[in-house]
Amino acid sequence: MGRVLNCIVAVCPDMGIGRSGNLPWHPIRLSKEFKHFQKMTMTPTVEGKKNVVIMGRKTWFSIPAQNRPLKNRINVVLSRELETAPEGAHYLAADFSSALRLLENPELEAQADQVWIIGGSSLYKEVMESSAHQRLFVTRMLKQFDCDTFIPNIDLDKFRLLPEFPGVPAGLQEENGLQYVFEVYECVEQ
């Protein structure tokens, strides 16, 4: 079996994930939500290894420059246009399957643990519609913000909502006046 592909995303009720190159709720900061993202994407299952984060070019540039690359993770950026990895990124790939093939090179394979897809929309869509073994870590914002970037609805014939998941807080979360819940979906064996 190939690697599990973990997607992590925070969505508005209309499945919006971004606006004008930023998160929809920008400039509101959700530090507990961000810490959850950091913890999930940064913690390897095997000591001494590192997780891999795969993202589109716009998501890479939406990260403040001082926070790039995402620390303690192998950062892979996807672009069809760029010829070299943007400054600070560890790897560039021209499409998603090339990004996964990179992980098969012996040096990276020995070092890389979990794979996390961190956006944006076309990448989430490609992974959600693929036949790989996927897990979706979804933060459901309960308030709607204007969005210009969306992901598809989660297909409940394909994914089941897990009742709980280690390390993922259950129940209603609230900070800065915004309420949200953490959900984890796993693809159903086809």
Ligand X SMILES: NC(=O)c1ccc[n+]([C@@H]2O[C@H](COP(=O)([O-])OP(=O)(O)OC[C@H]3O[C@@H](n4cnc5c(N)ncnc54)[C@H](OP(=O)(O)O)[C@@H]3O)[C@@H](O)[C@H]2O)c1
Report the residue from 31, 80, 87, 166 that binds ligand X according to the rule CB under 6 A: 80
- Under 8 Å between Cβ of 12 and 129: no
Please identify, using beta-carbon distances, which residue of 28 and 94 lies nearer to ligand X. 94
Residue with tokens 């009720």: 13
What are the backbone angles phi and psi of residue 41, rounded to the nearest 5°? -80, -25
Q: Which residues, at least 6 apart from 45, have a Cβ–Cβ distance to it below 8 Å?
A: 113, 114
DSSP code at position 47? T
Buried-state track 172-188, b at ≥16 Cβ within 10 A, e below 16: ebeeeeeebebbbbbbe
In terms of DSSP H, where are the helices of the chain? 31-42, 57-62, 96-102, 106-111, 121-128
Q: Which residues, at least 6 apart from 104, have a Cβ–Cβ distance to it below 8 Å?
A: none
Please identify, using beta-carbon distances, which residue of 148 and 174 lies nearer to ligand X. 148
- Under 8 Å between Cβ of 20 and 168: no
Report the residue from 22, 72, 130, 176 that binds ligand X according to the rule CB under 6 A: 22
Q: Is 33 a catalytic residue?
A: yes
Taking CB under 6 A as the binding criterion, the range among 27-35, 38-46, 49-57, 84-92 that sits at the site for ligand X is 49-57
Rounded to a whole number of angstroms, the minimum distance from the CB of residue 97 to ligand X is: 9
Report the residue from 44, 68, 90, 122 that binds ligand X according to the rule CB under 6 A: 122
Q: Is 23 a catalytic residue?
A: yes
Report the residue from 82, 85, 154, 168 that binds ligand X according to the rule CB under 6 A: 82
Amino acid at 26: H
Q: Which of 33, 78, 102, 136 is catalytic?
A: 33
Is 17 near ligand X (CB under 6 A)?
A: yes
Residue with tokens 């690697």: 3
Is 18 near ligand X (CB under 6 A)?
A: yes
Is 58 near ligand X (CB under 6 A)?
A: yes
Is 69 near ligand X (CB under 6 A)?
A: no
Is 126 near ligand X (CB under 6 A)?
A: yes
List of residues contacting ligand X (CB under 6 A) = 9-10, 17-18, 21-23, 55-59, 62, 78-82, 94-96, 118-123, 126, 149
Active site residues: 23, 33
